Amino acid sequence: MTSLTQSDAWQNLLSHFATIKDQHLRDLFASDPARGKTFTLQAAGMFLDYSKNRINAETMKLLIALAEDAGLKSRIEAMFTGEKINTTEDRAVLHTALRAPRDATIMFEGKNVVPDVHEVLDRMADFTVRITSGDWKGHTGKPIRNIVNIGIGGSDLGPVMAYEALRYYSNRDLTFRFVSNVDATDFSEATIDLDPAETLFIVASKTFTTQETMTNAESAKQWLLEGLKTDESAVAKHFVALSTNAESVQAFGIDTDNMFGFWDWVGGRYSMDSAIGLSTMLAIGPSGFGELLDGFNEMDNHYRTAPLDQNLPVIMGLLNLYYTDFFGSQTTAVLPYDQYLSRFPAYLQQLTMESNGKHVTLDGDQVDYDTSPIFWGEPGTNGQHSFYQLIHQGTHLIPCDFIAFTKSLNSIGDHHDKLMANVFAQGEALAMGKTADEVRAEGTDESLVPHRVFEGNRPSNTILIEKLTPSVLGKLVALYEHSVFTQGVIWQINPFDQWGVELGKQLAKAIIPELSPNDADLSHDSSTNELIRRYRSMK
Based on CB atoms, which residue is closest to ligand F6P, 82 or 268? Answer: 268
154 binds ligand F6P (CB under 6 A): yes
For residue 479, the tally of other CB atoms under 10 A from its CB is: 25
Whole-number Å distance between alpha carbons of 417 and 281? 32
- Kindly give, in sequence order, each residue whose CB lies less than 8 Å from that of residue 48, ignoring residues fewer than 6 positions away: 40, 41, 42, 312, 315, 316, 461, 462, 463, 464
CB of 244 to ligand F6P, least distance (A): 8
507 binds ligand F6P (CB under 6 A): no
CB of 141 to ligand F6P, least distance (A): 32
- Sole binder of ligand F6P in the list 155, 191, 355, 487 (CB under 6 A): 155
Is the distance from CB of 379 to CB of 335 less than 8 angstroms? yes
- Sole binder of ligand F6P in the list 96, 128, 132, 210 (CB under 6 A): 210
Write the secondary structure of 281-329 as one string of H (helix), E (strand) and C (coil).
HHHHHHHHHHHHHHHHHHHHHHHHHCCHHHCHHHHHHHHHHHHHHCCCC
- Sole binder of ligand F6P in the list 54, 269, 392, 458 (CB under 6 A): 269
- Sole binder of ligand F6P in the list 9, 100, 152, 241 (CB under 6 A): 152
Region of 320 please: left (phi>0), alpha (psi -120 to 50) or beta. Answer: alpha
For residue 309, the tally of other CB atoms under 10 A from its CB is: 15
The Cα angle at residue 219 between residues 167 and 503, in degrees rounded to 5? 85
524 in active site:
no
Nearest to 80 by CA among 108, 56, 53: 108
206 binds ligand F6P (CB under 6 A): yes
505 in active site:
yes
Based on CB atoms, which residue is closest to ligand F6P, 4 or 120? Answer: 120
Is the distance from CB of 91 to CB of 266 less than 8 angstroms? no
Catalytic residue among 164, 212, 291, 354: 354
458 binds ligand F6P (CB under 6 A): no
Q: How far is CA 357 from the centre of its chain?
A: 14
- Sole binder of ligand F6P in the list 53, 213, 356, 492 (CB under 6 A): 213
CB of 266 to ligand F6P, least distance (A): 10
Whole-number Å distance between alpha carbons of 12 and 322? 13
Based on CB atoms, which residue is closest to ligand F6P, 96 or 149? Answer: 149
Whole-number Å distance between alpha carbons of 161 and 504? 26
159 binds ligand F6P (CB under 6 A): no
349 binds ligand F6P (CB under 6 A): no
Based on CB atoms, which residue is closest to ligand F6P, 132 or 371? Answer: 371
**Window of 64-72, 89-97, 206-214, 316-324 that interacts with ligand F6P by CB under 6 A:** 206-214
Based on CB atoms, which residue is closest to ligand F6P, 187 or 322? Answer: 187
- Sole binder of ligand F6P in the list 268, 285, 377, 474 (CB under 6 A): 268
Catalytic residue among 229, 385, 451, 539: 385
Residue 481 burial (CB < 10 Å; 0-12/13-18/19+)? buried
**Eight-state DSSP code of residue 54:** S
- Sole binder of ligand F6P in the list 220, 480, 498, 514 (CB under 6 A): 498
Residue 252 Cα distances to 181, 208, 215, angstroms: 19, 9, 11
Residue 499 burial (CB < 10 Å; 0-12/13-18/19+)? exposed
Region of 492 please: left (phi>0), alpha (psi -120 to 50) or beta. Answer: left
- Sole binder of ligand F6P in the list 16, 56, 98, 153 (CB under 6 A): 153
Based on CB atoms, which residue is closest to ligand F6P, 139 or 206? Answer: 206
CB of 213 to ligand F6P, least distance (A): 5
Which residues in 354-373 contact ligand F6P (CB under 6 A)? 354
Based on CB atoms, which residue is closest to ligand F6P, 190 or 335? Answer: 190
Amino acid at 214: M
482 in active site:
no
CB of 88 to ligand F6P, least distance (A): 13
35 binds ligand F6P (CB under 6 A): no
Catalytic residue among 37, 415, 505, 509: 505
Kindly give the pairing relationship between strand 46-49 and strand 460-465: antiparallel
Footprint of ligand F6P on this chain (CB under 6 A)?
152-155, 205-207, 210, 213, 268-269, 354, 498, 501
> What residues act catalytically?
354, 385, 505
